[in-house]
């Protein structure tokens, strides 16, 4: 499971056997979330608060090019 980005204590990653649609998983302190990358949309979450989810969404928006590029390079 490649780690793509670590920022503000969040770990952004995907599983090596993941599938479409393009998405990113996020973990921090036993919490987890899954976001679609295009469009950026929350799919599921476990224990993240609303402010944390807003922060994660902003981080994804700020890093969308590198996150998408990492997905494309890994799976293509």
Tokens of 72: 């494309």
- Of the candidates 2, 1, 6, 3, the one whose C-alpha atom is nearest the C-alpha of residue 59 is 6
Sheet of strand 10-13: strand arrangement: 3-7, 10-13, 23-28, 31-37, 40-46
pLDDT value for 18:
86
The pLDDT of residue 16 is: 87
Q: Where are the domains of the chain?
A: 3-75
Res 11: pLDDT: 98
Per-residue pLDDT of the chain (76 residues; tens, 9 = 90+): 789 999 999 999 999 888 889 999 999 999 999 999 999 999 999 999 999 999 999 999 999 999 999 999 998 8
């Amino acid at each position: 499971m490649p780690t793509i980005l670590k920022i503000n204590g969040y770990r952004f990653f995907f599983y090596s056997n993941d599938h479409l649609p393009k998405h990113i998983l996020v973990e921090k302190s036993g919490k987890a979330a899954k976001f679609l990358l295009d469009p950026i949309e929350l799919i599921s979450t476990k224990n993240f608060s609303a402010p944390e989810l807003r922060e994660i969404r902003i981080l994804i928006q700020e890093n969308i090019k590198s996150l998408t590029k990492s997905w494309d390079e890994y799976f293509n």
